[in-house]
Amino acid sequence: MIESYARALIRFRWPVIILTILVTLALASGGRFLIFTNDYRVFFGPDNPQLVAFDKLQETYTKSDNLFIMMEPESGTVFDKDTMAAVVDVTDRAWQVPYSIRVDSISNFQHTRAEDDDMFVEELIEEPEYLEAADIERIQAIALDQPQLVNKLLSTDSRVTGVNITVELPAPLTEADQLLTPEERAEKDPNIALAVAMNFAREMVAELEADYPNIKFQTTGIVAMNQAFPEAIEADAKSLLPMAFLVVIVGVLLFLRNFWSMVGTVIVVLFSIMLAMGTAGWLGILLTPPAASAPTVILTLAVADCVHLLVTLLQNMREKMAKNDAIVESLRVNFTPIFLTSITTAIGFLSMNFSDSPPFHDLGNIVALGVGYAFILSVFFLPALMSVLPVKAKPRTSNKSTLMERFADFVIAFQKPLLWGMAVVMIGFSLMTPKNELNDVFVNYFDTSVPFRVATDDVTNKLSGLYIMEYDLDSGEEGGVGNPAFLQDVEKFERYVETLDGVQHVSSITETMRRLNRSMHGDQDEYYKLPEERELSAQYLLFYEMSLPSGLDLNNQINQDKSKTRMSVTMETRSTQQILEFEAQTMQWMQENTPSIATVTTGATSMFTHISMRNIISMLSGTAIALVLISLILLFALRSVKFGLISLIPNIIPALMGFGVWALLVGEVSLAVSVVVAMTLGIVVDDTIHYLSKYLRARRERGMSSEQAVRYAFNTVGVALVVTTIVLACGFMVLAQSNFLLNSQMGLMTAITIVIALIVDFTFLPSFLMWIDKDKTSEPSKTDEAPLTTAAQAT
Amino acid sequence: MKLAYPTALSMALIMGAALPVQAQTPEELGLEISKQVNEQNDGFGDSTANMTMTLINRSGKKSVRRMRSRTLEVSNDGDKSMTIFDEPADVKGTASLTYSHAVEADEQWLFLPALKRVKRISSKNKTGAFMGSEFAFEDISSQEVEKYTYKHLGEEELDGIPVHKIEAYPAYKYSGYTRLVNYVDKERLIGLKVEYYDRKDKLLKTLVLKDYEHHDSKHWRPGRMEMVNEQTGKSTILEFSDYAFGTGLKDKDFSSNALKKLR
């Protein structure tokens, strides 16, 4: 049946080629709808409890999406006339950043002071051109005395200062917005808004650098991080895809030694990517860094299909078969294996839909689509294309597999040592899996080739970081923020948090209350403490709110009905483990010491802290289902329950061993690893299918002994498996070069797992087969057969 | 502080009769109308009103504040005004007194009952949220003609009512706005809508004035002002009731000493 189909393909090769090109172009045109995300929140599903909590916080208080500009004067101190003038200027210009709703700096810090019953609320630095040395000294003394500024906007050594710009981006587009014109939509699109704000800030900083050559500027903040996502995608697309294509071209030329086969492979790979990405565009999939790695993954997987077909084709031609006959024969032999391996690979990737993190749904779906397209192209378009291309293969004496022959000899000779040795190695590495520590330092998702990362590291080291833990402290009643008992609890908690490791700064309403209390009592230091009556607090706040300029209100710390306050703790960049400990510690402390305000930690840091664990749990079921489905396909393909069960070992163990190797090499795993098992499962199973089906054919059709069957399997698919493994490993190694940690970890881990899978398939699997599938006719040691059969059934 | 009051009622009310308006530049026309509105609003002597302020956050949650206001008209200068806070309970009895001035900074005193003291407040920036609302102090303080320069942008219809569209540019250096756009009812000479543009000239807030009543056949006063922050989605509704004019308030009722004795 496949034969007549193949003949028809060759007869109608031109229509087939033209049809494929037209369909590809039509679908690929959907690529124009692909949108790069620039919102870190896309990593969290809508039901993620940490996201829900954070959204609630953002809704209650001023949003905390920000841009942070750090200024580092060459003079070594912020407190010289020129730098102070620059700070005022930067603060002023910062208000021009689109969507800015608040700007905080040491210059517009609202300083309160008192002279008898006269109260002054004024900016700390005003009219810098008239400042005298004494004024500057006074300003420095005041600034260094402000807990709200020190280690947040001003370093303790006065070497750097920061201007924090809070932006409020438009709400996400709704269904109704889809009806708007593109121009109107662009105005309401938060993604575009963010890019606009960031680009403006960049231009502004470039101008500032020109205007103030003696000051070094660094830009970070959530907005900068968000905008780094599409830029990381773009940088990857520019460097990784060409590299991946180069790997394909070199790899195929090297292994197939045939120019036109390389051309055919490149076209199939290119079309697979165009089709998959175009379809993703039509489906409205949002491109995140993980999803944007799909082209590289598709390319890698699509090559394997082509290689299998072309190897057979060229072999046949070298054995002097006519080209078109060779094409038909290759298709006949390879159609079912390619179909099966495509399905198992697609299942592996589709199981990523169980992930808690939507970008991995997209990656899984796009790659599954790509694998599907690659299959269709391989069995529909490639034969027609090869029929048209002037492929030539010189007849050659078959020197195939002398290497494989020798390797088979080795495996057969050392089957027992290999079996037990590998068993020990496999178990040993697998046991090391738990040594990996989960670590999602979101700032470090970007490698140091990304400017955002460099700036953020610098700002974190010198001033304050992006690691902010938020606490939404509830007094339980309207206006309760002024309640002295509540304020005292907040202050106690604040004091406790300040003692914890890694804490750089604590921002809390209590500082404002202490300061106001002092000012209201003629700036007497003994009143630098919390007000003792609720009415006093409330009236101070009323006064203070009335005196503040626009954009510097208290809504970033107190909610509208004054029942709750937000405490923000800025920390050094910390590991997930440390953050988890911090969260547990603070929770426990609150429950023991201030139970009425006890609450969970929230914020972006907290969200990323829990993301890996949530994903690993959500992917457990996805991986299990993929495993069951893939095993069923294997049972069907191998037509044997026994061998289906045997295949579980080489299918699952490589991923576990991969983690073990990872524990030795790296030791830290991120969100990416949660999907690696399911993903590699679909890929490594291909090796098992090929190897076992050849082994079984030898046993069943040719009546060979298990040793002969092992030798047969090595001879027939050994080279192809090595070649595809090398191509796959190289492809994923290209992905490992990504500047985005999730992609690079995924790439490296997959490459390691694929190589391990080949090693297991080439050493453990044959020796295990020779041990467990021993037939009575074949040689020694019948003694241990009975227990072995039992063991096999128990597997 | 003079809250929402006669001339006070924000720029909206300063707009005015476009009577003999030919052969004027848009700037002259804008100023002319503003002056006429101001003059028309003068002559009320003194007045009192009760106010309810409802704050609505992004998720629709509301909280309510109540206060009373008293205003004394001062000829050739800004008005004197007093605001007495009634709710929430923890600020009950807090009162503020403002002498607004045309050109120089306003003077302001605050009485805090919990502290039992009157404090004189010096702050250039009164552009922030008033009582956590979307109204800035400068939106509701006494509006003198001199506080802005004007430009008549044209005439159009707002909900079927013919209006003047007039742009006003704050003269005060520390204003939170670059400009305001006022929509003034041509016939009744009352403000119907004000748009506030922030420092980057982006629409920040929109104020809609509603439920106007004609008091003593002389003074139009809105019963309801709705301020929406277009950038944060938060809003505030300010409702007025019990307007009274010529209640016999004297200059001595607007002294810092009088603040303490308020009930």
Q: How far is A58 from chain B (nearest CA, A)?
A: 10
List B184's β-bridge partners, or say none: B164, B191
**Does residue B253 surpass a pLDDT of 90?**
no
Q: Domain of residue B102: give its range.
A: 27-255
Contact B112 A539 (CB under 8 A): yes
Q: What is the mean pLDDT of residues A41-54?
A: 86
Q: Angle at CA B52, nearest 5°, toward B51 and B55? A: 140
Q: What is the number of structural domains in chain B?
A: 1
Model pLDDT, residue A565: 93
Model pLDDT, residue A457: 93
Please check whether residue B243 lies inside any domain of the structure: yes
Are B194 and B11 in contact, with CB atoms under 8 Å apart? yes
Model pLDDT, residue B152: 85
| CA nearest to B230 within chain A | A170
pLDDT in tens, A155-206: 999 999 999 999 988 877 777 777 777 777 777 788 888 889 999 999 999 9
**Does residue A550 surpass a pLDDT of 80?**
no
Owner of token pair 């000051």? A215
The DSSP call for residue A473 is E
Sheet holding A564-571, edge to edge: A467-474, A564-571, A503-507
Q: How far is B196 from chain A (nearest CA, A)?
A: 12
Contact A543 B119 (CB under 8 A): yes
pLDDT in tens, A25-42: 999 998 888 888 788 888
Model pLDDT, residue B188: 81
Q: What is the mean pLDDT of residues A297-322?
A: 87
Q: What is the mean pLDDT of residues B226-237?
A: 90
**Per-position DSSP letters for A40-107, written without gaps between them:** GGGGS-TT-HHHHHHHHHHHHS----EEEEEEEETTS-S-SHHHHHHHHHHHHHHTTSTTEEEEE-SS
Query: Which residues are CB-contacts of B98 (< 8 A; sequence separation ≥ 6)?
Result: B1, B2, B80, B81, B82, B106, B107, B108, B141, B142
Main-chain dihedrals φ then ψ at residue A423, nearest 5 degrees: -60, -45
Q: Which three-class secondary structure state does DSSP give residue A368?
A: helix
Measured distance between the N- and C-terminal CA atoms of chain B, rounded to whole angstroms: 17
Question: What is the maximal distance between C-alpha atoms in chain B?
Answer: 58
Please check whether residue B212 lies inside any domain of the structure: yes
How many contacts (CB atoms, under 8 Å) link A and B? 140
Nearest CA-CA partner of A67 in A210, A254, A197: A197
Q: Which helix (H) or strand (E) holds A312?
A: helix A294-318
Q: List Cα–Cα distances, A629 to A351, A626, B68, in angstroms.
A: 10, 5, 73
Contact B88 A554 (CB under 8 A): no
The DSSP call for residue B71 is E
Q: What is the mean pLDDT of residues A771-777?
A: 70
Main-chain dihedrals φ then ψ at residue B54, nearest 5 degrees: -115, 120
Please check whether residue B13 lies inside any domain of the structure: no
B136 touches chain A (CB under 8 A): yes
Which residues of chain A make contact with B94, given a CB cutoff of 8 A? Answer: 539, 542
Owner of token pair 């002092």? A518
Nearest to B128 among A479, A542, A548 (CB): A548
A120 touches chain B (CB under 8 A): yes
- Chain A residues 507-536 within an 8 A CB cutoff of chain B: 520, 533-536
Which residues of chain B make contact with A117, given a CB cutoff of 8 A? Answer: 117-120
Model pLDDT, residue A657: 93
Please check whether residue B3 lies inside any domain of the structure: no
**Does residue B58 surpass a pLDDT of 90?**
no
- Residue A92, classified by CB atoms within 10 Å of its CB into exposed (0-12), middle (13-18) or buried (19+), is middle
Report the mean per-residue pLDDT for chain A. 87
Report the mean per-residue pLDDT for chain B. 81
Which residues of chain B make contact with A519, given a CB cutoff of 8 A? Answer: none
Specify which of A366-380, A655-669, B115-129 reaches the highest per-range mean pLDDT.
Answer: A366-380
Please check whether residue B109 lies inside any domain of the structure: yes
Q: Which three-class secondary structure state does DSSP give residue B80?
A: strand
Listed in sequence order, the DSSP H helices in A639-705 are: 641-665, 673-700
Measured distance between the N- and C-terminal CA atoms of chain A, rounded to whole angstroms: 38
pLDDT in tens, A452-472: 999 999 999 999 888 889 999
- Packed helices A706-735 and A294-318: angle between N→C axes, nearest 10 degrees: 140
- Chain A residues 559-588 within an 8 A CB cutoff of chain B: 559-562
Nearest CA-CA partner of A380 in A267, A471, A456: A267
Owner of token pair 């002319």? B32
pLDDT in tens, B26-36: 888 888 888 87
Nearest CA-CA partner of A87 in A125, A57, A46, A35: A125
Preceding peptide of B88 cis, ω within 30°? yes
Sign of the dihedral defined by the CA atoms of residues B67, B73, B77, B80, in that order: negative
Least confident span in A51-65, A365-379, A473-487, B47-61? A51-65
Classify strands A215-220 and B46-56 as parallel, antiparallel or unpaired.
unpaired
Which residues of chain B make contact with A171, given a CB cutoff of 8 A? Answer: 233
A96 touches chain B (CB under 8 A): yes
Query: Which residues are CB-contacts of A274 (< 8 A; sequence separation ≥ 6)?
Result: A24, A27, A28, A31
- CB count within 10 Å of CB A232 equals 25
Please check whether residue B15 lies inside any domain of the structure: no
pLDDT in tens, A685-708: 888 888 888 898 888 888 888 889
Q: What is the mean pLDDT of residues A579-604?
A: 91
Contact A535 B90 (CB under 8 A): yes
Contact B59 A548 (CB under 8 A): no
pLDDT in tens, A559-578: 888 889 999 999 988 888 88
Model pLDDT, residue A77: 93
Nearest CA-CA partner of A597 in A473, A471, A470, A469: A473
CATH of the domain at B98: 2.50.20.10
Please check whether residue B7 lies inside any domain of the structure: no
Model pLDDT, residue B12: 42
Residue A501 and residue A499: Cα distance in Å, rounded?
Answer: 7
| CA nearest to A536 within chain B | B114
Model pLDDT, residue B125: 67
| Confidence band for A400, pLDDT divided at 50, 70 and 90 | low
Nearest to B120 among A95, A119, A562 (CB): A119
- Chain A residues 143-172 within an 8 A CB cutoff of chain B: 168, 171
Please check whether residue B17 lies inside any domain of the structure: no
Structure-block tokens of residue B117: 């003291």
B176 touches chain A (CB under 8 A): yes
- Residue A793, classified by CB atoms within 10 Å of its CB into exposed (0-12), middle (13-18) or buried (19+), is exposed
Are A711 and A402 in contact, with CB atoms under 8 Å apart? no
Contact A117 B59 (CB under 8 A): no
pLDDT in tens, A358-388: 999 999 999 999 999 999 999 999 999 999 9
Model pLDDT, residue B1: 41
Between A17 and A333, the more confident residue is A17
Query: Which residues are CB-contacts of B174 (< 8 A; sequence separation ≥ 6)?
Result: A549, B124, B125, B126, B127
